[in-house]
């Protein structure tokens, strides 16, 4: 099973769409003992621990203690990248995937995150390359009104010093009731959807050269379209992916510790085996025509509907647009596979759930 392990609720940034620096709450640090964590994880045959926060690199000694304690677990890290270089090298090499928050071009990243953040993140990803890190380095973007999806994704894919193996993004939608949009509909129709269409087209053009660029939301969807292998909720929340919050409670998703619906256990009393498939998305997802491809996008959004049913539907329209654009390219991709330029298996990403939610 996969666990987002929240190492602290504190964050050293205060980004526009999250305000993690301000919203940490009065209790920020882990309230359970290692003995309690030991007993819980001992009952899981194949634990995968994904360091999460707040900002997990604010608690590097804790991170190292955990990695020493569970040498056979698989590790992932989601970080804002500012303190990445402080993790001792021998531990960094043991992390399978590192998701680094960066929102695209410098101006856009610094606009959402704070001045100077882009440069510091780029320097630290360079450091990862310098020490010979061989794992998956994923640029994880939050996409909001100042983002031009085409330009931000292309910028990160085209970087050569350093190089990101994969680029992923999440729309800044339904994380709170207000949102910070002035014209979501206009942005989708004028900027986001056309940008997606162009990215998809050019992604397949590049395959003519035998190259599949690591655009995370495209790869597994294309894999499903080619193979017919459908997916339940792609982020795995409530199915095989859970969050261990700082108080020891177990939630379906790391972003929702304060929402009662999301708490499904406690490490002191829950058997990990009883968690599997504990929560699924509700309607309209199971009856949706693209359910097997989309998987329901986001359990939190499905349960909370912070933008109401109309708002939920607006986001679905972006998902459907993405899926239909990919669908339209399937015959071309099949021809390239037949010619031996690429193979179906190239689209089978990620190897393990690495915390990319897949559907933006």
Which residues here bind ligand SF4, judged by CB under 6 A?
235, 237, 253, 255, 284-285, 288, 290-291, 294, 296-300, 316, 319-320, 357
Do 216 and 356 form a contact (C-beta atoms < 8 A)? yes
Residue 275: CB minimum distance to ligand SF4, A: 15
Residue 237: CB minimum distance to ligand SF4, A: 4
Residue 55: CB minimum distance to ligand SF4, A: 17
Residue 232: CB minimum distance to ligand SF4, A: 11
Question: Closest Cα to residue 318, out of 145, 216, 217, 189?
Answer: 189
**Cβ proximity to ligand SF4, 128 vs 139, nearer residue:** 139
**Cβ proximity to ligand SF4, 253 vs 326, nearer residue:** 253
Q: How far, in Å, CA of 143 to CA of 165, rounded? A: 19
Residue 257: CB minimum distance to ligand SF4, A: 11
**Cβ proximity to ligand SF4, 128 vs 319, nearer residue:** 319
**Cβ proximity to ligand SF4, 8 vs 78, nearer residue:** 78
Do 297 and 359 form a contact (C-beta atoms < 8 A)? yes
Q: How far, in Å, CA of 143 to CA of 153, rounded? A: 10
Q: How far, in Å, CA of 51 to CA of 240, rounded? A: 16
Question: Closest Cα to residue 332, out of 201, 142, 189?
Answer: 201
**Cβ proximity to ligand SF4, 270 vs 302, nearer residue:** 302
Q: How far, in Å, CA of 299 to CA of 256, rounded? A: 10
Whole-number Cα distances in Å, 248 to 70, 243, 252, 336 = 18, 9, 13, 49
């Amino acid at each position: 099973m996969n666990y987002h392990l929240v190492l602290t609720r504190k964050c050293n940034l205060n980004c526009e769409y999250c305000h993690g620096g301000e919203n940490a709450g009065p209790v920020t640090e882990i309230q359970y003992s290692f003995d309690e964590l030991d007993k819980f994880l001992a009952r899981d045959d194949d634990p995968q621990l994904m360091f999460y926060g707040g900002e997990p690199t604010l608690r590097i000694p804790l991170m190292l203690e955990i990695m020493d304690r569970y040498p056979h677990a698989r590790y992932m890290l989601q970080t804002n990248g500012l303190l990445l270089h402080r993790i001792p090298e021998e531990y960094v090499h043991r992390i399978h995937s590192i998701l680094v928050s960066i929102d695209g071009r410098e101006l856009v990243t610094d606009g959402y995150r704070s001045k100077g953040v882009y440069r510091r993140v780029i320097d630290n990803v360079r450091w990862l390359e310098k020490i010979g890190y061989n794992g998956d380095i994923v640029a994880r973007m939050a996409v909001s009104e100042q983002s031009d999806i085409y330009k931000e994704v292309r910028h990160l894919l085209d970087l050569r010093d350093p190089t990101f193996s994969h680029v992923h993004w999440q729309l800044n939608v339904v994380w709170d009731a207000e949102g910070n949009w002035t014209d979501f509909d206009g942005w989708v129709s004028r900027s986001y959807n056309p940008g997606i269409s162009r990215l998809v087209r050019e992604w397949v053009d590049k395959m003519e050269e035998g190259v599949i660029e690591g655009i995370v939301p495209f790869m597994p969807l294309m894999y499903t379209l080619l193979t017919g292998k459908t997916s339940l909720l792609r982020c795995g929340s409530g199915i095989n992916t859970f969050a261990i919050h700082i108080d020891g409670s177990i939630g379906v998703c790391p972003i929702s510790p304060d929402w009662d619906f999301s708490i499904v256990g406690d490490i002191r009393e829950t058997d990990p085996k009883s968690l599997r498939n504990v929560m699924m998305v509700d309607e309209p997802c199971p009856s949706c025509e693209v359910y097997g491809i989309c998987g329901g996008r986001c359990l939190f959004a499905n349960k909370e509907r912070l933008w109401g049913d109309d708002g939920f539907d607006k986001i679905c329209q972006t998902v459907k647009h993405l899926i239909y654009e990919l669908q339209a390219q399937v015959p071309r991709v099949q021809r390239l596979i037949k010619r031996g330029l690429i193979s179906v298996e190239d689209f089978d990403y990620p190897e393990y759930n690495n915390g990319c939610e897949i559907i933006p």
